[in-house]
Amino acid sequence: MFPHQVQVYVFFPPSLHAFIPLLIPSLTVKQQYSSTKSKKKGRTEMALSNNVIGAINFVAMLLSIPIIGAGIWLAMEPDNSCVKLLQWPLIILGILVLVVALAGFVGAFWRIPALLIFYLVAMLILIVLLASLVVFVFLVTDKGSGHPAPSRAYSEYHLDDFSGFLRRRVRSPFKWDGIRGCLSSTNMCAELNQSYRMAQDFFNARITPLQVDLQSGCCKPPTGCGYTFVNPTYWISPINNAADMDCLQWNNEQTQLCYNCDSCKAGLLANLKSEWRKADVILLITLIALICVYVVGCCAFRNAKTEDLFRKYKQGYT
């Protein structure tokens, strides 16, 4: 009888929405379908945001590896293993980043809001700590350049050229006694005797400040003292060697050498500076990546919370 169906739209004020199922029962099914569809869409969007947060936290877990690795590398170096300054803070900080990122990973995939909030707050604190450490290492290693030794290929170092923080680590007799004992127990000076037999070969060697096999600060007297070369760790004293206190500290005894000299302390700090600068570059790159990951995680968390609020609003309205 009616070849064409006509759709009629009737608008009800919000105050009558609760009575619509009673007035027009046929609308109930459509309303429930719309509500179910909205719930499924909201859950899908929430799951997508949680997956993004979980993936971001997994990347943050991977970023803890360079921090821990830098600490382990410093701990394995002979000079840092004797001083014990930077390696343990790095290892502890890296482990904390790993634990916090793991908490965020679990909170994202198991939808535990408390863990996600803990991740956001704790990771922000760790990022601030890491940034402070990066700036601190840069500042304390800003000073301390070598001085070319006369008629030598290597450089020598003066203790006063370094930052006050590093100098205080080695100037205390109590602290230096432990460091000196640790350094003298290594074979770094003994290997010099095996590598250089002739004086000219030794003078032309590019000796680094403090390495296991090449020493310029602890294994020989300062060049200005005027000692005569016999071998890299045995020198003949001049008639007048009072030009520098380090000249008086030198001793041909293999357990003494110049381990009590300021030149040895300066050589130690020079090598610490070099290694800390390398570690600082790794930390800076990791910090930038960690900040990017954190910002993306914050955006994903905010989107998830916004979608959740809209979903609840739509459910309450319909």
DSSP three-state, residue 136: helix
Quote the mean pLDDT of the chain. Answer: 78
DSSP three-state, residue 183: helix
Exposure of 75 in the CB half-sphere (CA atoms within 13 A): 12
Q: Tokens 């790095």 belong to which residue?
A: 90
Dist CA 231 CA 133 (whole Å)? 42
Above pLDDT 90, what percent of the chain?
28
DSSP three-state, residue 109: helix
Which tokens go with 19?
A: 């009575």
Which tokens go with 79?
A: 């000079």
Tens digits of pLDDT across the chain (318 residues): 445 554 544 544 555 454 444 444 444 444 444 444 444 444 444 444 567 777 888 899 999 999 999 999 999 988 888 888 899 999 999 999 999 999 988 887 887 888 888 999 999 999 999 999 999 999 999 887 777 776 676 677 888 889 999 999 898 888 899 999 888 888 888 877 777 777 777 777 766 554 533 477 888 888 888 888 888 888 988 877 666 788 888 999 988 899 999 989 988 898 899 899 999 999 999 999 999 999 988 887 776 655 554 455 445 544
Per-position DSSP letters for 159-179, written without gaps between them: GGGS-HHHHHHHHSHHHHHHH
